[in-house]
Amino acid sequence: MSASDPERLTLRDLGFDFGPDPFGDKALMAKLDAFLHSPEFFVLLGFGVVYAVYWFWVHNRERGEALDAVVIAKGRELQAAQSRVNALKEIRRRDQYFDEDMFLHRAEEAFLKVQDAFSRQELGAARAFLSDGMFERLRRHIGGQEAAGVRHVMREVKVMERRALGYAAGWHYDSVAVRFKVSAVRARVAAQTGRLLDGGEEVFEEIWTFLRRPGAATLAQGGAIEGFCPSCGAPVSIVDAVLCGSCKTWINSGEHDWVAVESTVPWEWRYADPRRDVTGWATMREHDPDLSLESLEDRAAVAFWRWIDARRRRDRAPLRGSATTELVDALSLESPFAGDALFGAAEVVAFEHGDELDSAHVQVRWDAGGERRTDTFIFRRRAGMTSDRKAGLSATRCPGCGAAPAKADADKCEYCATAFNDGSRGWVLFEIAPFGLWERPEETAATGHVLPGLEGGEDVAPADAVAAMAACLAVDGALHHRELAYLDKYAERRGMTSAQVEKIVEEARAGRLPYNAPFGADRALLSSLIRMCLADGYIEDSERALLAMAARRAGVHGLELKEMIRAERAVLAKRARELLTRLG
pLDDT in tens, 148-163: 888 888 889 999 999 9
Residue type (1 letter), 305: W
- In 3D, which of 217, 196, 387 has the Cα closest to residue 299? 387
On the question of pLDDT at 384 being above 70, the answer is yes
On the question of pLDDT at 1 being above 80, the answer is no
**Cα distance between residue 404 and residue 397, in whole Å:** 4
**Cα distance between residue 348 and residue 363, in whole Å:** 6
Each residue of 118-177: pLDDT tens digit? Answer: 998 888 888 889 998 899 889 888 888 888 888 888 889 999 999 998 888 888 999 999
What pLDDT score was predicted for residue 398? 73
* Backbone torsions φ then ψ of 278, nearest 5 degrees: -105, 130
- In 3D, which of 497, 502, 111 has the Cα closest to residue 266? 497
- Compute the average pLDDT of residues 342-365: 89
On the question of pLDDT at 66 being above 50, the answer is yes
- Determine the longest span between alpha carbons in the chain, in angstroms: 131
pLDDT band at residue 54, thresholds of 50, 70 and 90?
A: low
Each residue of 392-414: pLDDT tens digit? Answer: 777 777 776 667 776 767 777 77
Per cent of the chain over pLDDT 70 is 70
Average pLDDT taken over every residue of the chain? 76
Output 78 or 210, whichever has higher pLDDT.
210
On the question of pLDDT at 38 being above 90, the answer is no
Of the ranges 61-65, 344-348, 502-506, which one carries the lowest mean pLDDT score? Answer: 61-65
What pLDDT score was predicted for residue 409? 75
Of the ranges 345-359, 406-420, 558-572, which one carries the lowest mean pLDDT score? Answer: 406-420
**Cα distance between residue 527 and residue 472, in whole Å:** 12
- Compute the average pLDDT of residues 278-295: 88
Helix, strand, coil proportions of the chain in percent (round to 5)? Answer: 45, 20, 35
Each residue of 488-520: pLDDT tens digit? Answer: 777 776 777 777 788 787 777 776 665 543 333
From the DSSP assignment, how many helices (H) and strands (E) are in the chain?
14, 8
> Residue by residue, what is the 3-state secondary structure of 366-395?
EEECCEEEEEEEEEEEECCCCCCHHHCCCC
On the question of pLDDT at 367 being above 90, the answer is no
pLDDT band at residue 450, thresholds of 50, 70 and 90?
A: very low
What pLDDT score was predicted for residue 527? 73
On the question of pLDDT at 245 being above 90, the answer is no
* Backbone torsions φ then ψ of 340, nearest 5 degrees: -80, 130
What is the model's pTM?
Answer: 0.71
> Residue 308, Cα to own-chain centre: how many angstroms?
22
What pLDDT score was predicted for residue 564? 83
Measured CA distances, 391 to 253, 303, 380, 387 (Å)? 6, 17, 18, 8
Yes or no: say if 122 and 153 are a contact pair by the CB < 8 Å rule. Answer: no
pLDDT band at residue 429, thresholds of 50, 70 and 90?
A: very high
Q: Show Cβ contacts of residue 391 under 8 Å, excluding neighbours closer than 6 positions.
A: 250, 253, 295, 397, 399, 402
**Cα distance between residue 544 and residue 534, in whole Å:** 10
On the question of pLDDT at 532 being above 80, the answer is no
**Cα distance between residue 95 and residue 155, in whole Å:** 36
- In 3D, which of 434, 310, 431 has the Cα closest to residue 366? 434
Beta bridge partners of 376: 363, 433
Residue 136, helix vs strand vs coil:
helix
What pLDDT score was predicted for residue 46? 65
Question: How many residues in the chain?
Answer: 584
DSSP code of residue 255: S
Please report which helix (H) or strand (E) contains residue 48, including its range.
helix 39-94
- Compute the average pLDDT of residues 206-220: 89
What pLDDT score was predicted for residue 456? 38
Output 39 or 207, whichever has higher pLDDT.
207
- Compute the average pLDDT of residues 200-222: 89
- In 3D, which of 146, 292, 116, 105 has the Cα closest to residue 212? 292
Q: How far apart are the first and last CA of the chain?
A: 75
Q: Show Cβ contacts of residue 263 under 8 Å, excluding neighbours closer than 6 positions.
A: 134, 206, 207, 208, 209
Per cent of the chain over pLDDT 90 is 17
- In 3D, which of 411, 374, 386 has the Cα closest to residue 504? 374
**Cα distance between residue 251 and residue 257, in whole Å:** 8
On the question of pLDDT at 274 being above 70, the answer is yes
Residue 330, helix vs strand vs coil:
helix
